[in-house]
DNA sequence: TTGCATGCAAACGTTTTGCACTGGA
DNA sequence: TCCAGTGCAAAACGTTTGCATGCAA
């Protein structure tokens, strides 16, 4: 990760970071925009996107690159994994439990230089487990 | 995965599947559209999207999910993993090597019902390794 | 003072959808 | 026949960008 020298701290940038740090959810840019707008009613969505990008580049937050239509952001920088609900897409943290260096199993089997991996667990959140029992339909299942 | 009853096979649907099965790359919808159009010049991009969706639902192909970027498709249904190049985004297959049930390490640590995981390796393809040595910049690095 | 950051709006690339027509079972 | 499938176009969606203005250092 390219760590950028400490970015200067504008009001908007500070508040975006603060709001993201407040929540344990993993909000999308739009959700962060909604949160920030309660404190800065005139903030623009473009500013939110620009700042999320800069905060991620400077290592203060993390962009989640895993599956899903829209990107999500996380201010928890410690090593951990995520579980995503297959029905409602809600993501929660899992404590870190080292899995060994998965990539070592594969280097030599490809001419790619393997540098790491992206791992995301999928399943059902408690609410959606109940809905499923009640006969709901899964949006999609584990495919990869 | 919700396996849909065998879809009826229109000319377009058959050719989309055939073209995808021809290649070892993991093309985007647009790339598949370009391939199909060589055989069906009047096909529409909407039809390609609709059919890729249906083929995936019926278990004949697989959608690769990766947020933000564009979706890619894979007709190889056997269990395997992917490596994605961090610079050029090119994806290749890795042979399957069982990693154990990663999810078993985590159930009990969450109230989610963990049903599986999505795992993708990241690194540099051979071409981009050379570019890197020549001083190029990584688009992004391993962050999760 | 100066250049990075902002608000706004338009542009962008990808994907989905509404509609009338077509063609496969 | 008749309904799923199609071509076409517009809309939807998340994200990025150009530009004139504003503000932190």
Secondary structure element (H or E) that encloses residue A75, with its range: none
Contact A113 B129 (CB under 8 A): yes
CA distance B122 to B113: 27
* CA dihedral sign of residues B35, B39, B44, B50: negative
pLDDT tens for chain A, 144 residues long, are 444 556 678 999 999 999 999 999 999 999 999 999 999 999 999 999 999 999 999 999 999 987 777 899 999 999 999 999 988 889 999 988 777 778 877 878 899 999 989 999 999 999 989 887 776 555 444 433
C-beta of residue B24 within 8 angstroms of C-beta of residue B78: no
C19 C1' to A132 CA distance, Å: 35
Contact B94 A106 (CB under 8 A): yes
Q: What is the pLDDT of residues B47-101, one digit of tens each?
A: 999 999 999 999 999 999 776 678 999 999 998 999 999 888 889 999 877 777 7
Interface test with B, best of A58, A100, A112 (most B CBs within 10 A): A112
Tell me, yes or no, if A3 comes closer than 8 A to chain B by beta carbon.
no
Count residue pairs from A and B with Cβ separation < 8 A: 170
CA distance A52 to A30: 11
Residue B108 has pLDDT above 90, yes or no: no
Tell me, yes or no, if B96 comes closer than 8 A to chain A by beta carbon.
no
C-beta of residue A6 within 8 angstroms of C-beta of residue A45: no
């Amino acid at each position: 990760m390219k760590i950028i020298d400490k970015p200067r701290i504008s009001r908007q940038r500070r508040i975006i970071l603060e709001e993201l740090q407040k929540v344990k959810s993993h909000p999308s840019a739009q959700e962060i925009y909604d949160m920030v707008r309660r404190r800065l009613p005139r903030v623009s969505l473009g500013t939110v996107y620009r700042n999320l990008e800069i905060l991620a580049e400077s290592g203060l937050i993390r962009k989640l690159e895993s599956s899903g239509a829209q990107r999500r952001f996380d201010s928890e920088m410690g090593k951990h994994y995520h579980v995503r609900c297959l029905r409602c897409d809600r993501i929660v943290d899992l404590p870190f439990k080292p899995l060994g260096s998965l990539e070592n199993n594969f280097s030599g089997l490809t001419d790619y230089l393997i540098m790491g991996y992206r791992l995301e667990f999928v399943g059902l959140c408690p609410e959606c487990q109940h809905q499923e029992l009640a006969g709901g339909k899964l949006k999609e299942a584990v495919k990869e």
